[in-house]
Every structure is written in C-alpha cells, then in structure tokens.
C-alpha cells in the first residue's frame, strides 16, 4: 500500500513494489554528484534483519523526484497533492 513520507509529501512510496534494485540511489547520486555511488544518494533503501525494507530520505532531498522517474517497478511515484 502506497504511503507518503512526512518529509517528502510529493513522493508516494509502495514498499511492496520495491525490489531493492538501487536504481533510485544510483540516479540520485549521479544527478547530484556525477557518479553512480549509492552512498552519495539523498535516498536510501534500508533492509532490516527480518528482510523487510524501508526508504530513508536525507535532509538534502529536495523532492526533485528523479528517483521516481527512474523507478522501473513503480515503487516511487510523484504526486502534486500535499
């Protein structure tokens, strides 16, 4: 079920669709740092010990939604509604 991150209200997140492919982290780091390095991304896929996952956004995230544009699984989508 999609939900909104309170710090990123324009992004809808559906963790059931997230495969952990890291495309969102790779495109974010390339967009802002000119290198494909997930550690530099403003978004992070978090894997828990029980194999569940989540997303974390840094304070630097400006909701540009480049991550949603490159999410081929539809786990991240952009909305204009707050």
d(CA 29, CA 48): 23
Q: State pTM to two decimals.
A: 0.81
- Report the pLDDT value the prediction gives residue 82, as an integer from 0 to 100: 55
Is pLDDT above 80 for 53? Answer: no
Q: Which of 12, 79, 13 is nearest to 46 (CA)?
A: 13
Encode pLDDT of 6-33 as tens digits.
Answer: 555 678 888 889 998 999 999 999 999 9
φ, ψ (nearest 5 deg) of residue 5:
-80, 130
- Mean residue pLDDT of the chain comes to 84
Sheet holding 76-78, edge to edge: 3-5, 8-13, 76-78
Asked if 4 and 62 touch (Cβ cutoff 8 Å), the reply is no
Please name each of the domains of the chain with its CATH number: 3-78 (3.30.70.20)
Residue 24's pLDDT is: 95
């Amino acid at each position: 079920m999609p939900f909104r991150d309170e710090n990123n209200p324009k992004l809808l997140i559906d963790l059931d669709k997230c495969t952990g492919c890291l495309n969102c982290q790779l495109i974010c780091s390339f967009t802002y740092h000119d290198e494909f390095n997930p550690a530099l991304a403003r978004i992070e896929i978090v894997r828990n010990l029980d194999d569940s996952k989540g997303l974390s956004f840094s304070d630097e995230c400006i909701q540009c939604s480049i991550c949603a544009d490159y999410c081929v699984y539809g786990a991240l989508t952009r909305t204009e509604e707050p």
